[in-house]
Amino acid sequence: MKTTAGVTLVELLLGLAILAVVWFFCVPFGAQQYKKNQLNLVVDELNTIIHYAKIQALLLGEPLVLTPLPASDDWSLGMILFVDNKKHQYTEGSKLIHEWRWHSDAINVKWQGFQSSHYLLFDNNLRHSAVNGYFLINNNLQQYKVIVNRVGRTRIEH
């Protein structure tokens, strides 16, 4: 009795055709899901940054400022947290607390504050806290609004 182990050419081509169809439908969905996940990651990280800044201002006993990276005025690249120097601008002599950079270039981050669109001020005294405004975070698929009230609490709207 002679048996052959293997697949015929027709079976091989049919299997490749099925894999090609599955690949054709999954790749665009995967890319779209990846973009949504990147946006959600930035929204969650921004929420954590705001809570961190608020807690650090209370722990250090000094007012802190959150601004875009010093090289640009674009929140989409990242942000820094430093001890306030009354001008609310980072200089070489400012004490840097932390720096964040985003891992995706396709995400836009904009701050619209009632004090300024260039910084958020976190005071060490809760009675004087006046962080008011919102971040708009979007890519070409979705947009989130992270609203920050005057004591630094956040609310996320989709």
Please state the length of the chain.
Answer: 158
Q: How far apart are CA 54 and CA 63, in angstroms?
A: 9
CATH of the domain spanning 13-157, picked from 3.40.50.2020, 1.10.600.10, 3.55.40.10, 3.20.20.70: 3.55.40.10
| Residue the block writes with tokens 């992270």 | 146
The model's pLDDT over 114-150, given as tens digits with 9 standing for 90+, comes to: 878 889 988 887 666 666 899 999 998 899 999 998 7
The model's pLDDT over 64-77, given as tens digits with 9 standing for 90+, comes to: 999 999 878 889 99
